Amino acid sequence: MTTAPWLGDACSLVDAFRAGALSPAEALEASLAAIEHSTLNAVCHLDVETAVAAARNADVSLPFGGVPIGVKELDPVGGWPHSEASLVFADRVAEFDATMVTRLRAAGAVPVAQTTASEFGGINVTATRLHGVTANPWDPTRTPGGSSGGSAAAVAGGLLPIASGSDGGGSIRIPAGFSGLLGLKATFGRIPKGPRTEVEPLTAVLGCMARSVRDTARWFDVCNGADEYDPFSLPRVTGWEHGLGTHDVTGMRVAVAPDLGTAFVAPAVAEAVETAAAALIHDAGLVRRPVDVALPRGGLEWAMAGAASLLVGLSDHYPAREQELTPEMMLICNVTARHFDIEAAKSVERFRRRCIVAMAELFEQVDFIMCATNPDVAFAAAGPMPTTVGGVDLVAEHGFDVAVGNNGALTIPANTTGNPAVAIPAGSVDGLPVSLQVMGRHHAEPLLLDLALVVERTRPWPLVAPGAPC
């Protein structure tokens, strides 16, 4: 009889191993069975043989000793496919482990599944020509978001207790928000991108999709720290998990702006975020300040900066194989190839500078900024990106660029400036998760995790979707 998949957090699974209540081999078997029967399409590759051997020999005294984990398909794992979710690289195999994966293995984790992503991590819906459509375990007709959609679906769907993610414009926070998970986008450089570092884009960071605050803290305990192969990596910081709940945030100042002054947010979502923010301010002893928040809107500039790096990665494959790209990525590449000149580069840099100044000026007045993580609840699983929010047709009212850019308008600012931000489950609207995003000063992740811990303790969220495993 196969053991049921673990529906608690990863830390409690390690506790169960250490207590002898469950073995890593049993936990792995249960995850594999759940993945086999799942209809979410969250996993695109399994490494059963290697994982079984690792589980049998797991040292459960290690931080993630014996825990089966998912690895997003943008993160290389030696011997696994390294397609970056694209038909263009469907036959490519990774020759090395990412530094993050190396550190996780050393901490006892058992990489078993590669989770689906959006092509090259470019958009916030996980639907590709290579793997098809990934579903949200809360409602299979909806998307788990992207680009870490497979990781979010696998964790929220009860298939795996934790999985890797990356965030270049919201790709951890957006799926965390859509799937009822905790998602920390760390300060730029916190987890190194080595060993073969692609410096660009300067917005992208690594992290995880997690069910709990302590899981996230333990992940960063294991994975953070400077690496010589990543010139932007930050020095190692210890005590992420041990320090949870020890920071006095009483009296710290907060600005609350569900729309950040730049996005169009559905009224029901804005109301839920206001309610969640008010509760957190009360429970944590924070002080709300009447600060005007109006961050720059620059979805096009963000997309063009990232696509320029993508074109370098595609090399001779573009435009020769552009028809193999998803329509969204083809459009982004074509616009960039045709229009990214010196004036466009200036526009990107001006946008970056405006964001940095605007964010810095806000943090001269407050310690935290609270807003929505997503403009609305999860949209259709296959897309397209929604252009209507709260019944308002944004194309008709504001134009196509604004309508499409609205989907990441709440998350892109923290990527552009490098600030940390955390997506915290904040209830639901129409049976779908809503998320409160809290942004902090550079290097303030411990404070953000402590605020998330306040919510987790006072208003606990479901660790998995209703009916999981899905």
- Residues annotated as catalytic (active site), given as ranges: 72, 147, 171
Provide the CA 100 distance to its chain's centre, in angstroms: 15
Q: Token pair 């409690």 is at which residue?
A: 12
CA–CA distance, 377 with 429 (Å, rounded to integer): 7
3-class DSSP state of 182: strand
Dihedral, CA of residue 191, residue 196, residue 202 and residue 204, to nearest 10: -50
Quote the CA–CA distance of 454 and 463 in Å, as a whole number.
Answer: 16
Which residues pair with residue 110 across a beta bridge? 68
Compute the C-alpha angle 115/118/124, nearest 5°. Answer: 115
Q: What is the DSSP string of 25-89?
A: HHHHHHHHHHHHH--S--EEEE-HHHHHHHHHT--TTSTTTT-EEEEETTS--TTSB--TT-GGG
- Going by C-alpha positions, the residue among 261, 216, 450 that lies closest to residue 371 is 261
436-469: string of b/e by CB count within 10 Å (b at 16+)?
A: bbbbbbbbbbbbbbbbbbbbbeeeebbbbbeebb
DSSP string, 146-177: SSSHHHHHHHHTTS-SEEEEEESSSTTHHHHH
> In whole angstroms, what is the distance from residue 377 CA to residue 118 CA?
19
Beta bridge partners of 46: 113
